[in-house]
Structure 1
Amino acid sequence: MPELTTDTVNFELSDRIATVTLNRPEAMNALDPETIASLAEIWVEIRDNPDIWVGVVTGAGDRAFCAGADLKKTIPTRPGAQGVNWPVFQPSLRNTIDGGMQIWKPMIAAVNGYCLAAGLTLLSACDLRIAAEHAQFGLPEVIRGIVPTLGATQRLTRQLPWSAAMELLLMGEHIDAQRAYEIGLVNRVVPADEVIPTARAWAEKLTAGAPLTQRAIKEAAVRGLSLPIDEGIRMEELLSAHIRKTEDFREGPRAFAEKRPPNYRGN
């Protein structure tokens, strides 16, 4: 496996769980071009490495999960300008989970503070979301004359009630963790010191499950969003038929009959 930890991103793999930590706490873990490029490599590794079953994404420190893009480095200040780092930043966006890359493995966001702009779109690309009680969420781009991209206008309107999504997109104001929980943006709100342990516990529960089945469920759910329901049901059955050919499919009922925990191997 290539060395994936850099000056701005930490990568750790243990017990089939990949933990990705944005490591620019002095900049609220904002995404500069170099960080985006590092993340692009990490997402590919999570997608393709058979030893990784679950991904966890978080931010260093207790102030921020990710405060968005580092505007000083990613957004040109002159109309029509590209900026010296723009060529580095732009291609990497095509290899991000919030920019369109499909990772069928479960992804968990552990939100330990501000989750803003591109940080919120990263959150929206994760399947399960744990938030600290002091976390704040928002899409302030509209206030700065920027259209939220990387799927912000597409995922949130599919994941949240329309009015809640449009409030985030159009008003540009922050909401707190309790409000995020109420509208379904996060799954759990916990004390700050429980965010990482809770995310890890959820990841461990997932790694005890059948990974191919989990991925098929996620793929069916995501692809089905863009399909008529009858076509989605047919796709669901095709994926289910594929899973029925696996050893893990046989292991589940066998373990139940033998009154023991299943030992899934991902084959």
Structure 2
Amino acid sequence: MAEDIQLDRDGHVCIITINRPHVMNSLDFSANEKLVEAWQTFSSDPELRVALITGSGGKAFCAGADLKTYTMSFATTPAPEFQRKYTNGPGLGGITRNLHVFKPILAAIDGYAISGGFEIALACDIRFCSDRAKFGLQDVKWGFHACDGGLIRLREIVGRGNAMEMILSGDLIDADHALRIGLVNRICRKQDLFDESLTYAHHLATRAPLAQQLAKEVMVRAEGLSLDEALRLESTSFHGLGKTRDLEEGTTAFREKRDAKFVGE
């Protein structure tokens, strides 16, 4: 029997597949825990530099939490336990809250990315989608609102007006709309989506991993800081790369007019 969450290695790329197509790749508690574990494996393995997350089956990237087995149990958890387990623990899918992964994460989105599944996509750094992808936070149709970063990240990515339209209506948008408002980076033909995404993930994996990770961490931690504080953080982070082997290799490769071979040290 296939695993609900599959983790495969392709060189320096970690491929994470949500494999529950019979329920539009929605997550029950068990699958959610396995997805958290997959991110932890990726984050802790120095040989894995870039993650690519996708969904199986062709109908959905991820439809969020399984309404039949997850949502009501989650929403009605007593307050102290909810605070400990959910507010202070990893969000849906792990990366949406309290699980910091500073390596690059690319999402390959085919079909529906809705509610919590959309929030997982928002927590990724780069989003490629197929020409048949659909996006939405439909929670207001069911009596609640997003709670795993949707109300926060969507506004940062597409702006307040576009975010309000999606959040308050619960309506879906298509791939062209998503590209127009900056929600996705690229639209691919359905049959080309995975290959193009994997090729780009390998492209990212050729860059200096320490520089990528520190740059991403600065961008994440700078949110909410004053301009002066953010600029100081950026400068301090840059100096942290000064004595790395990767910086020496990168500058040497530039002088020798060749591609750098980074080792992550």
User: TM-score under structure 2 normalisation?
Assistant: 0.92
SS at match of 2:233: helix
- Residue correspondence of structure 1 range 42-121 to structure 2 within 5 A: 42-76=38-72, 80=76, 90=86, 93=91, 96-121=94-119
> Which of structure 1's runs of 4+ aligned residues deviate more than 4 A?
79-82, 89-92
| Letter matched to residue 108 of structure 2 | A
Residues 72-120 of structure 1, C-alpha deviations (whole Å, 9 max, x = no match): 001228x9577xxx9xx85553881012311110000000110000111
**1:188 matched residue in structure 2:** 186
Establish whether residue 220 from structure 1 lines up as the match of residue 218 from structure 2: yes
Contact 1:94 1:101 in 2 (8 A): no
Q: CA separation in 1, counterparts of 2:171 and 2:252?
A: 52
SS at match of 1:173: coil
Contact 1:132 1:177 in 2 (8 A): yes
**1:176 matched residue in structure 2:** 174
Superposed CA RMSD: 2.2
Q: CA separation in 2, counterparts of 1:41 and 1:244?
A: 33
Contact 2:55 2:109 in 1 (8 A): yes
Q: CA separation in 2, counterparts of 1:118 and 1:96?
A: 11
**1:231 matched residue in structure 2:** 229
By how many angstroms is 1:23 displaced? 0.2
Q: CA separation in 2, counterparts of 1:50 and 1:42?
A: 14
Q: Percent identity?
A: 34
Residue 5 (structure 2) aligned to one of 3, 6, 9: 9
Establish whether residue 28 from structure 1 lines up as the match of residue 24 from structure 2: yes
Q: CA separation in 2, counterparts of 1:25 and 1:94?
A: 18
Q: CA separation in 2, counterparts of 1:146 and 1:211?
A: 39
Q: CA separation in 1, counterparts of 2:231 and 2:99?
A: 23
Which runs of 5 or more structure 1 residues have no equivalent in the other structure? none
Q: CA separation in 1, counterparts of 2:2 and 2:208?
A: 32
SS at match of 2:72: coil
Contact 1:251 1:264 in 2 (8 A): yes
Which runs of 5 or more structure 2 residues have no equivalent in the other structure? none
| Letter matched to residue 64 of structure 1 | A
By how many angstroms is 1:208 displaced? 0.8
By how many angstroms is 1:157 displaced? 1.3
Sort the Cα spacing of 1:92 and 1:211 in 2 relative to 1 into closer, same or farther, 3 A: closer
Q: CA separation in 2, counterparts of 1:175 and 1:12?
A: 31
Q: CA separation in 2, counterparts of 1:201 and 1:68?
A: 27
| Letter matched to residue 55 of structure 1 | A
